[in-house]
Chain A
Amino acid sequence: MGGSGSRLSKELLAEYQDLTFLTKQEILLANCWLLLHPLHPSGSSRASPSTVPGTQAHRRFCELLPQEHRSTEESLHTRVSLEQILSLPELKANPFKERICRVFSTSPARDSLSFEDFLDLLSVFSDTATPDLKSHYAFRIFDFDDDGTLNREDLSQLVNCLTGPGEDTQLSASEMKQLIDNILEESDIDRDGTINLSEFQHVISRSPDFASSFKIVL
């Protein structure tokens, strides 16, 4: 397709706009953002982690554009490895970052993201995505063993992610048991000892703060 000057053809851009909850600007920003990392595998993200992430990405994007000429095909099929995605400033501090990447990855080994996977991720975490979609993916992110329900192990892993990585920061065993019992008591409606997607979505639907907190600003 066109090739010179623009990475994403008009048709592709329109298609992405139709199929995701992203605006055109966000898609373009995401494109450049992701392309950047294969180009500088170790440098830019670690060089200045403390500066403003948004303006940083934006500036990098702007200085990158004029000299760079890559075809769309190439950029679409480039897969970015998990480590590179995890070092993105927006995901760096997130305790669920590995899970998020795994859930959205379409590669067989679940260890890399293509540009489209990345767009999927951003779409789900965007402002306009439906609460239904958000809660579906939240469920899959929290389902650590990918078995389709949140059982006691999933819940305890989830609580550990929330309370912090260190040994001393975790809840004691009795507290954890008490907490998980309470959670199951509150949300396991059909009393089968685990929380399935519908039950999870039922709980989430009662919390107005979920939609505003399950969001990543590009």
Chain B
Amino acid sequence: MAQPLPFVLNVPEIPEDHDREPSPYDESEVHDSFHQLIQEQSQCVAEEGLELRQRGLGAAAPGTSGSGRQALVGPEDAAAYSTATLRILASMPSRTIGRSRGAIISQYYNRTVRLRRRVSRPQLGGVGRSARPSLRLYDLELDPAALEEEEKRSLLVKELQSLTVAQRGHMLKGMPLGLAEKRSLREESRTLTGKPRERRGRRGLFPCCGWLRDTCVLVGASGLGWAQGRQVGGGALVPSCPLGGLSPPPPPPPPPAQPGSWGLTLLPFSPWCPQALHGLGLWLLAGLHGLKPWRYALKRIGGQFGSSVLSYFLFLKTLLAFNALLLLPLLAFVVGVQAAFPPPASPGPVPAFTGLELLTGGGRLTHTVMYYGYYSNSTLNPPCVPAPDGGQCGRETDGLPYNMPLAYLFTVGGAFFITCITLVYSMSHSFGESYRVGSTSGVHAITVFCSWDHKVTQRRASRLQHDNIRTHLKELLAEGQLRQGPRSVCGRLRQVAVLGLVWLLCLAITLGCTVAVYAFSELMIQSPVSAEQGGALLALPVVVCLLNLGAPYLYRGLAALERHDSPVLQVYVAVCRNLILKMVILGILCYHWLGRRVGALRDQCWENFVGQELYRLMVLDFIFILLDTLFGELVWRLISERKLKRKEKPEFDIAGNVLELIYGQTLTWLGVLFAPLLPAVQIIKLVFLFYIKKTSLMANCQAPRRPWLASHMSTVFISLLCFPSFLGAAVFLCYAVWQVKPSSTCGPFRTLDTMYEAGKVWVRRLEKAGPRVSWLPWVHRYLVENTFPVYLVSALLLAVIYLNIQVVKGQRKVICLLREQISNEGEDKIFLINKLHSVYEKKERSRGGRTQEAERLEEDPDAR
């Protein structure tokens, strides 16, 4: 009782000493002082103990109801804490992790231990309904004899040593410590393993050999430079050692322990030449950095317009990759082979090249590898070269026939399948990235913590971002107040009426467009144009493109009438309407091609016609995008700057532009069966589009004013690309392959009833061929023609989806439980601190009283 309390020493009630950084050492002292205080108080506060238990129960029981908790702990309470309590709170381990190095080290020690033991998650069975977590779980940090930084460090080093090299490197990379600190940790964790030393010793003996070996390895490995560069750079396209043959870059395994020792031992033996070459290599390497495709363009866009506009350009890049994926197998197995073995030329005269072909895709281009009709329906064989021994030739052509119809069918099918897998994978990846469990709550916090885009490098853009964030925050706050006040019935009715009216009008416009396209296509069938009148063929695509261009402006005008509460909803509604329009028009066109054209073009090659039609649509779509860019962005900016004297530039309409891209991609997928080189055209179009849009963006546009959830939107874009676009194209192609009779005058399937027959014919031939490949017909009979596997696969898929949903549900539940646990613990902590504080104050007062009494007693004798 009489001894001085360390509590007083550790908790100085001076608010000014904030700059002094409390170390983990203080932490342990605080714990000690608590310990002592509790022990001292335990014997003399029996009645208080009772009270404590009661209040503890009271705090725990209504923990689930929530109201009691709210009353007990709120932000108001937090403000009412005395400085001493705040000081104790500040020394809690949960807070020191954010600032002290010792705490970081100990946290990473724990992680390393976990990594080693391979226990990633605590057992969920131990989590009770409202269980309070045992402090023993955190014994390292809450141990009364808390370890000092040095000890923790040595523990960490020991743990690091027990990891593998790769794991250790990964762990060190991810530690939030300075480079010097990481380096020393690495040195320490490595010196004891012994292996590097051995290596260094060997090098010391035969440095020249070592150097030679390294060089050889590197020269050999330089072919792998691409893969390495990609691995290190995370998607970087520049090889990490393009000059591996000339200059020796550092070896892939980590260098020896002491930096520099290797180089020093090497120097006397190695000539100056490798050094100079090394320097040259590094210099060129850094130069190549700038050649990464569109790196600086993307950086500039990101710097000026932020992530939202950047997402459009990244989407464009993704589409490029998809088209390359589609084009490569087609080029390799269909186009290339057919170009190498051209079929006999068609008897008619070859039309002259006029230039209009580039627009219509007809004329000269008709009988080329561009279109379906050019491909032969026979097997392709290399021309028989008279070999030294004559019999060889015939057998070879028998053994390896290249069946063009089969190649055509399987390559298109395979390319589609690969695209489908990639698309679904990237969609699921994107969903996993952007939708986290429980991400719906916490808008304010996320806005404040995550909304600043550090990529922005321009003052003007940064000011714009300030404005955007401010507006967004104000809107959020206003929304919160709005939600509290219910709106009047009349106002709500009016809004519903306006919404309904606008939707009706939009649907009417869509219907009008559809009818117009249908009527026009019928008209085109009624008055057939010959292939020579190229210009007339462009009529239908022009109408379609005009409707596609005009209708979105009408929608935008109508959308101004309805006032949506949230700008995000507005964007989604606009996307939805435009999508409906485009898909309906494409649906009508598909019907027109497969339903009507096939009948109308009995004696001609209807596949060529469809391919050309899609080519025309694509080219005109490109031209109309150019016009839209020119008039919608450039002219509008000039008008608004010159005439209206406004400072504002037009906004870049991300949603609209992305929908244009998706539309173009759908056209490509629809046409790939009828025009195998259509992806190449799309690639060229996309590359041009990138530069045109970038130039227009830089010159004419400003960043969108609305806050924009880039990752959510890119998820939406990629799912739109997958769901209506890719799926629609796949259905269209499946119908064409399975149901429609191919034309009898051209193409690889000219003798068959459907394109699918080619596969069947082949299987039948294989059955005849002998027992060696008998499994293939079996596979065909039981897996392709039987419906059971389809059901099985879909049932499996459904089961996986169901399991995933359940897992997510479970995670949500566990998150709720853990949250409850943490808030309970916080309550406990605060309650105990308050309790200790009151005990301490009481003691202080009593001691103060006693000293006052003593003083009075001392004074009294004086008075006497």
Contacts and interface: CB of A to CB of B under 8 A. Distances in A.
A25 B78 contact: no
B688 to A, nearest CB: 22
A2 to B, nearest CB: 5
Which of A136, A187, A212 has its CB near the most chain B CB atoms (within 10 A)? A212
Instruction: State the majority secondary structure of interface residues on B.
Output: helix
Nearest to A216: B454
Given A142-B449, A213-B454, A21 B830 contact: no
B242 to A, nearest CB: 11
Contact of A93 (B94, B457, B467): B457
Which of B99, B445, B826 has its CB near the most chain A CB atoms (within 10 A)? B445
Which of B295, B307, B711, B819 has its CB near the most chain A CB atoms (within 10 A)? B711
Nearest to A190: B826
Contacts of B456: 93-94
Contact of B78 (A5, A142, A158, A192): A192
A190 B94 contact: yes
A44 interface: no
Nearest to A138: B449
Contacts of B827: 191
Interface in A50-104: 52-55, 58, 61-62, 65, 89-90, 92-96
B449 A5 contact: no
B90 A149 contact: yes
A111 interface: no
A147 B89 CA distance: 11
Interface in A135-170: 136-140, 142-143, 145-149, 155, 158-159, 161-164, 169
A182 B480 contact: yes
Given A147-B18, A192-B829, A209 B711 contact: yes
A4 B273 CA distance: 11
B822 interface: yes
Contact of A179 (B75, B176, B279, B473): B473
Interface stretch (B6-14, B248-256, B788-796): B248-256
Given A2-B278, A95-B462, A193-B75, A208 B179 contact: no
B99 A128 contact: no
B183 A15 contact: yes
Given A20-B173, A62-B287, A116-B178, A208 B278 contact: no
Interface string B709-733: 1111000000000000000000000
Contacts of A36: none
B823 interface: yes
Contacts of A58: 289-290, 296
A186 B79 contact: no
Interface string A10-49: 1111111111110111101100100000000000000000
B450 A213 contact: yes
B302 interface: yes
B803 interface: no
Contact of A209 (B182, B263, B476, B709): B709
A194 B85 CA distance: 13
Contacts of A198: 94, 97
A155 B448 contact: yes
Interface in B275-316: 275-276, 278-280, 282-283, 285-290, 295-296, 299-300, 302-303, 307
B578 interface: no
Contact of B286 (A21, A32, A158, A189): A32
A191 to B, nearest CB: 4
B278 A6 contact: yes
B446 A203 contact: yes
Contacts of A28: 282, 285-286, 289
B94 A196 contact: yes
A117 B178 contact: yes
Interface string B84-114: 0000011000111111100000000000000
B95 A149 contact: yes
A15 B184 CA distance: 12
Given A148-B95, A169-B466, A217-B302, A207 B174 contact: no
Instruction: State the majority secondary structure of interface residues on A.
Output: helix
A198 B295 CA distance: 35
B436 A208 contact: yes
B490 interface: no
Which of B77, B278, B466 has its CB near the most chain A CB atoms (within 10 A)? B466
Contacts of A149: 90, 95, 98
B289 A164 contact: no
A92 B456 CA distance: 9
B240 interface: yes
A192 B446 contact: no
Interface residues of A, number: 107
B238 A196 contact: no
A128 B234 contact: yes
Contacts of A55: 290, 296
A146 B449 contact: no
Given A155-B448, A159-B448, A171-B473, A164 B98 contact: no
A62 B282 CA distance: 12
A24 B287 CA distance: 12
Contacts of B444: 179, 182-183, 186
Contacts of A130: 173-174
Contacts of B417: none
B263 A10 contact: yes
B194 interface: no
Given A23-B236, A212-B711, A191 B823 contact: yes
B830 A217 contact: no
B396 interface: no
Contacts of B90: 147-149
Contacts of B450: 204, 207, 209-210, 213-214
Contacts of B445: 182-183, 186-187, 203
A213 B278 CA distance: 36
Nearest to A205: B436
Nearest to B96: A148
Contacts of A204: 449-450
B78 A193 contact: yes
Given A162-B466, A175-B477, A212-B307, A14 B439 contact: no
Contacts of A92: 457, 459
Contacts of B649: none
Nearest to B820: A189
Contact of A143 (B99, B441, B442): B99
A26 B232 CA distance: 11
Nearest to A115: B179
Given A19-B179, A53-B303, A215-B454, A203 B449 contact: yes
29 contacts: A2-B263, A5-B280, A6-B282, A13-B282, A18-B172, A23-B229, A25-B288, A89-B457, A92-B459, A93-B462, A120-B178, A133-B174, A148-B95, A149-B90, A149-B98, A161-B452, A162-B451, A179-B448, A191-B74, A191-B78, A193-B78, A196-B97, A197-B97, A206-B436, A208-B434, A209-B709, A212-B710, A213-B307, A217-B455
Given A179-B444, A184-B75, 4 more contacts: A24-B282, A140-B98, A171-B474, A207-B436
Interface of B: 18, 21, 69, 73-75, 77-79, 81, 89-90, 94-100, 169, 172-176, 178-180, 182-183, 186, 229, 232-236, 238, 240, 248-251, 254-256, 259-260, 262-264, 267, 272, 275-276, 278-280, 282-283, 285-290, 295-296, 299-300, 302-303, 307, 433-436, 438-439, 441-446, 448-459, 461-463, 466-467, 469-470, 473-474, 476-477, 480, 709-712, 819, 822-823, 825-827, 829-830
Interface of A: 1-2, 4-6, 8-21, 23-26, 28-29, 32, 52-55, 58, 61-62, 65, 89-90, 92-96, 106, 116-117, 119-120, 125, 127-128, 130, 132-133, 136-140, 142-143, 145-149, 155, 158-159, 161-164, 169, 171, 175, 178-179, 181-187, 189-194, 196-198, 200, 203-210, 212-217
Sorted from nearest, which 7 A-B pairs have the closest CB atoms?
A193-B78, A190-B826, A5-B279, A14-B250, A148-B99, A93-B462, A164-B466
